[in-house]
Amino acid sequence: MPSVGVRPVESRGDLRAFIDLPFGLHAGSAQWVPPLKVERRLFLNKRFNAYFKHGDAQLFLARREGRVVGRVSAQIDHAFNRYQGNDWGQFGFLEAEEDQEVFEALLEAASAWLRERRRDRMVGPMDFSMNEESGVLIEGFEREPFIKQPWHPPYYQRMCEGAGLTKAVDLWMWELHITDRSKIVPALVEMAERLEPDHGIRIRKMSRRRLGREVELFGETYNEAWKDNWGFVPYSEEDLKHYGQELQLVYDPNWFMVAERTDTGESVGVAITVPDINQVLKKMGGRLLPFGWWHFLRRRRIMDRVRVGFLGVKPEYQHTGVAAGLYIEHFDMAITTPQKWGEMGWILETNDAMNRGMEGMGGRVVKRYRVYERELS
């Protein structure tokens, strides 16, 4: 069989092939959800993605006899390196045919690019950062991915490990049916009920009119609550501005929540839960035209599930019941909205407190994603 060649993405045609590859690889899958192609082009554009304010990246395509058979990115997040005090690099956007040679060639191309820039470890996959699609699916292949979750066939794990990647950490997704309060541990309900009278903290919904300011409050809470997590990098002002623009497209007044002190108005906790737009994207087939726009306009009638993407509490308030208050508010919203269930995460396998909280609400782990690493020195 002819050998595989890997080259950087350099032209518009290369970029088109990079974006199109998963459509060919996964077209026969009942689970895979095609992304909106115009959104992918904007996401990969250095002018429109705030990641490139603090990061560098190179996209690669693998070809055999002129046919595209795989893709990958190599990237360096300088903000991550500064915060963590390390010289790691990352890889992402990993997609390839079931061919060990292709996986090895792609990962070696990413490794070589990072070595040239004096990185000593490569971790991933992550589509630039851990707050985007991250990890290789190793459990839950039969389930559709929710918004910002990747989907891979089972051979990806085998190929990655066959190429010498080793486990760094697993990410868990929990399924919750938020209409059945009988599954909630009673102590959580009691803590939520005592949140305001005992601690002077209330739960309110984010305002779309003030969403820019609300996202700033989210960033303040996120940078405190998640700072000790594996792979954490704080949101910058530019990152938050970009994220706020994304949230405008998926904002739902029922599911964007803030926990704040009643005396000072200080934000002490936050939950950003998004009705799952992937249910709409699947109908759109990656395109707005000719009929994709119709499904997008009808999205509120289509989406019956949510993804709890961020739920966190500032460290000094983590024993006051704020998380319990946010959990119970989700159950209350399920009574009055079309969304009756969803997935929570990802949550690090090492995050015992959050995983216990999911168990306390009757959740179960339904997907696992694996982040890999490779020594480069």
User: Between 334 and 114, whose confidence is greater?
Assistant: 114
Q: What is the mean pLDDT of the chain?
A: 91
Indicate the pLDDT class of residue 205, thresholds 50, 70 and 90. Answer: very high
Q: Tell me: the pLDDT tens digits for 2-25?
A: 799 999 999 999 999 999 999 999
In a domain, 54, yes or no: yes
How wide is the angle at C-alpha 183 spanned by C-alphas 203 and 271, nearest 5°?
25
Q: Which residue, 170, 197, 218, sits at the end of a domain?
A: 170
Percent of the chain with pLDDT over 90: 70
- Tokens encoding 20: 């199109």
pLDDT at residue 339 tops 70: yes
pLDDT at residue 260 tops 60: yes
Q: Tell me: the pLDDT tens digits for 129-168?
A: 998 999 999 999 999 999 999 999 999 999 999 999 999 9
Mean pLDDT of 176-203: 88
Residues 198 and 292 in one domain: yes
Whether the CB-CB separation of 94 and 71 falls below 8 Å is answered with yes
Residues 52 and 78 in one domain: yes
Q: How far apart are CA 187 and CA 171, in angstroms?
A: 27
In a domain, 377, yes or no: no
User: Between 357 and 52, whose confidence is greater?
Assistant: 52
Residues 191 and 128 in one domain: no
Task: Identify the top-confidence range among 151-165, 176-190, 291-305.
Answer: 151-165
CATH number of the domain to which 307 belongs: 3.40.630.30
Whether this prediction's pTM lies above 0.85 is answered by yes
Residues 227 and 115 in one domain: no
- Tokens encoding 110: 């990413």
In a domain, 376, yes or no: no
Mean pLDDT of 223-238: 90
Residues 205 and 187 in one domain: yes
pLDDT at residue 292 tops 80: no
In a domain, 326, yes or no: yes
Residues 151 and 210 in one domain: no
pLDDT at residue 279 tops 90: no
122-131, 172-181, 261-270 — which is least confidently predicted? 172-181
Whether the CB-CB separation of 87 and 275 falls below 8 Å is answered with no
* pLDDT at residue number 361: 84
pLDDT at residue 353 tops 60: yes
Mean pLDDT of 332-356: 91
* pLDDT at residue number 245: 87
Residues 263 and 195 in one domain: yes
State the virtual CA torsion across 351, 352, 354, 360 in degrees, nearest 10. Answer: 160
Q: Tell how far CA 141 is from the center of its chain.
A: 17
Q: Tell me: the pLDDT tens digits for 236-259?
A: 989 999 888 888 888 899 999 999
Residues 134 and 195 in one domain: no
Q: Which residue, 146, 170, 194, sits at the end of a domain?
A: 170
In a domain, 128, yes or no: yes
Residues 100 and 228 in one domain: no
pLDDT at residue 289 tops 70: no
Q: Tell me: the pLDDT tens digits for 67-97?
A: 999 999 999 999 999 999 999 999 999 999 9
Whether the CB-CB separation of 292 and 279 falls below 8 Å is answered with no
Find all residues with CB under 8 Å of 249, minimum gap 6, and list them: none
* pLDDT at residue number 295: 52
* pLDDT at residue number 296: 61
The total of structural domains in the chain comes to 2
Q: Which residue, 121, 140, 170, sits at the end of a domain?
A: 170
In a domain, 166, yes or no: yes
Residues 186 and 303 in one domain: yes
Find all residues with CB under 8 Å of 194, minimum gap 6, and list them: 321
Indicate the pLDDT class of residue 333, thresholds 50, 70 and 90. Answer: very high
pLDDT at residue 297 tops 70: no
* pLDDT at residue number 377: 79
Residues 132 and 261 in one domain: no
pLDDT at residue 293 tops 60: no
Residues 179 and 228 in one domain: yes
Mean pLDDT of 107-112: 98
Say how many CA atoms lie within 13 Å of 27 toward its Cβ.
Answer: 6
Range of the domain at 311: 175-371
* pLDDT at residue number 288: 60
* pLDDT at residue number 74: 98
Percent of the chain with pLDDT over 70: 96
Counting runs of H as helices and runs of E as strands, what totals does the chain give? 14, 13
* pLDDT at residue number 34: 92
